[in-house]
Amino acid sequence: MTAKGADRPFYIYLAYSGRTLIVGANQSALQVLIDAGVDIEPGCMLGGCGMCVADFVEGDLIHKDLCLTENDRKALFCPCVSRAGTRIVLPL
Ligand code: FES
């Protein structure tokens, strides 16, 4: 059982490679992607600089950044802070 307000694990599905990654409750999606060999530059790690911004295809995203507009969030997310309820699909 997850404490109220705590982050939950979720899946990242890489559509082109067919790989599935698991983001643990205490991990960022960015760290999991970097560990998996995805070439993303980390920056502030606070959702503010936009250096890590990545495309997504679909998913129940929970945006936690401070740098994207609502329009941006239709196709982009900041993996350093943003999470998903269950799953996100990336064009990788
Ligand atoms: S590293 Fe700065 S927004 Fe993600």
The count of domains in the chain is: 1
Q: How far is CA 74 from the centre of its chain?
A: 14
Do the domain assignments include residue 44?
yes
Token code pair at residue 5: 């307000």
Residue 9 in contact with ligand 1 by CB distance below 6 A: no
Do the domain assignments include residue 31?
yes
User: How does 65-87 read in b/e, with b if 16+ C-beta sit within 10 Å?
Assistant: bebbeeeeeeebbbbbbbbbeee
What pLDDT, on a 0 to 100 scale, did the predictor assign at position 5? 57
Other CB atoms within a 10 A radius of the CB of residue 31 amount to 17
| Nearest atom, ligand 1, residue 45 CA | 1
Measured distance CA(79)–CA(30) in Å, rounded: 5
Token code pair at residue 55: 């495309």
Do the domain assignments include residue 21?
yes
User: Is this prediction's pTM over 0.95?
Assistant: no
What pLDDT, on a 0 to 100 scale, did the predictor assign at position 6? 74
Residue 80 in contact with ligand 1 by CB distance below 6 A: yes
Q: Render pLDDT for 1-54 as a digit per residue (tens, 0 to 9).
A: 445 557 999 999 999 999 999 999 999 999 999 999 999 989 999 999 999 999
Closest C-alpha residue for ligand 1 atom 3: 47
Domain that holds residue 64: 10-90
What pLDDT, on a 0 to 100 scale, did the predictor assign at position 37? 96
- Where residue 76 sits, what CATH number does that domain have? 3.10.20.30
What pLDDT, on a 0 to 100 scale, did the predictor assign at position 1? 42
Do the domain assignments include residue 3?
no
Do the domain assignments include residue 2?
no
Residue 62 has pLDDT above 90, yes or no: yes
What pLDDT, on a 0 to 100 scale, did the predictor assign at position 23? 98
Residue 49 in contact with ligand 1 by CB distance below 6 A: yes
Residue of 75, 78, 73 lying closest to 49 (CA atoms): 78
